[in-house]
């Protein structure tokens, strides 16, 4: 698609795109290219000489059990965060979609966590479930749970997943509500006339019609769990105890901080880029499909 009415000018358009192009080239392409190049190089221990090693950095990474574990962990976290946040948000959205008194108030009271920054989410949750002073920990202990996320890796992971899912509820809720409101009332009425009870109506009519929204949100939530959980992890557990909450992004960060192997950390960055490209690709394919519906 192109505009028919346009301006004629040789230099002006270049001047107009120049600022964005400059920033994109300096801060996106240059560093991305550096990461790709570096991932094929191996530096000696003193940083004096580098040699081209093809895919050795990548092979080394995949041979490293810790990296493999981080991949599995990241996907497991993403899945757990997406499923728990999506199902809770869907329940709330279905309720808020009913013709209730005060439904705008409900919406306002449910969407604000979107604006809370990940590190703040981490601080709030770490305080609430702190082993020695957390208010909820008291009840957990009273119920006989030996609660100590500072020592127990599984509990730390659960804590991260809960906090991350909590933040994402508002976002999912908004999109589910919009999706539900775009379902024609006549379809639901038709099902009601056919004698379908509310539960049956939900599973046989509403849920299938909502599946594009669900799929879209699933991808968004996975991307969120991959990248935006950094702040939550960093304030809550710092990847620990041990490496129980170290995700791929967190590993890139800590490996880089230690400043050890440049080639390996570049290779990790490149793998992350590939994952983002794949996820974005899936999302676009989906958007296209939605357009042709």
In whole angstroms, how close is the CB of 11 to another protein at the nearest point? Answer: 9
Q: Is 186 helix (H, G, I), strand (E, B) or coil?
A: helix
Determine which residue in the list 41, 43, 53, 88 makes contact with another protein, applying CB under 8 A.
Answer: 88
- Could you tell me if residue 145 is left (phi over 0), alpha (psi between -120 and 50 degrees) or otherwise beta? beta
Range in contact with another protein (rule: CB under 8 A) among 59-67, 72-80, 151-159, 272-280: 272-280
Who contacts 170 (Cβ-Cβ below 8 Å, separation ≥6)?
A: 89, 110, 111, 112, 113, 114
Q: Which is nearer to another protein, 198 or 208 (CB)?
A: 198
Tell me: does residue 23 bind another protein (CB under 8 A): yes
Instruction: Provide the β-strand partners of residue 209.
Output: none
Q: Which is nearer to another protein, 26 or 145 (CB)?
A: 26
Tell me: does residue 202 bind another protein (CB under 8 A): no
Site for another protein in 234-263 (CB under 8 A): 234-235, 249, 252-253, 256
Who contacts 227 (Cβ-Cβ below 8 Å, separation ≥6)?
A: 249
Site for another protein in 91-110 (CB under 8 A): 91-92, 95-96, 98-100, 106-110
- Structure token pair of residue 93: 């959205």
Site string for another protein, 162-191 (x = CB under 8 A): ----x--xxx--xx--x------x--xx--
Site for another protein in 129-158 (CB under 8 A): 132-135, 137-138
Q: What per-residue string of b and e applies to 280-293 under the rule 16 or more CB within 10 Å gives b?
A: eeebeeeeeeeeee
Range in contact with another protein (rule: CB under 8 A) among 42-50, 58-66, 76-84, 266-274: 266-274
**The dihedral sign for the CA sequence 207, 160, 126, 251:** negative
């Amino acid at each position: 698609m192109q505009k028919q009415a346009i301006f004629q000018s040789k230099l002006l358009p270049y001047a107009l795109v120049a600022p964005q192009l400059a920033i994109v080239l300096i801060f996106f392409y240059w560093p991305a290219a550096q990461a790709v190049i570096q991932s094929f190089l191996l530096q000696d221990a003193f940083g004096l000489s580098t040699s081209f090693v093809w895919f050795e950095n990548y092979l080394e990474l995949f041979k490293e059990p810790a990296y493999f574990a981080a991949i599995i962990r990241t996907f497991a976290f993403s899945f757990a965060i997406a499923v728990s946040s999506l199902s809770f948000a869907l329940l709330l959205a279905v309720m808020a979609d009913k013709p209730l008194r005060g439904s705008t108030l409900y919406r306002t009271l449910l969407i604000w966590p979107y604006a809370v920054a990940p590190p703040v989410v981490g601080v709030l949750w770490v305080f609430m479930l702190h082993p020695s002073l957390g208010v909820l920990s008291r009840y957990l202990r009273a119920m006989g749970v030996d609660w100590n996320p500072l020592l127990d890796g599984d509990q730390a992971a659960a804590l991260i997943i809960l906090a991350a899912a909590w933040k994402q509820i508002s976002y999912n809720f908004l999109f589910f509500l919009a999706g539900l409101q775009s379902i024609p009332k006549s379809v639901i009425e038709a099902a009601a006339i056919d004698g379908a009870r509310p539960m049956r109506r939900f599973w046989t009519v509403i849920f299938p019609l909502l599946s594009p929204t669900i799929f879209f949100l699933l991808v968004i939530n996975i991307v969120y769990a991959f990248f935006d959980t950094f702040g939550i992890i960093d304030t809550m557990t710092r990847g620990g105890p041990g490496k129980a909450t170290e995700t791929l992004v967190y590993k890139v960060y800590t490996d880089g901080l230690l400043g050890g192997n440049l080639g390996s950390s570049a290779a990790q960055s490149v793998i992350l880029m590939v994952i983002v490209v794949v996820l974005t690709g899936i999302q676009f394919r989906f958007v296209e499909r939605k357009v042709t519906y």
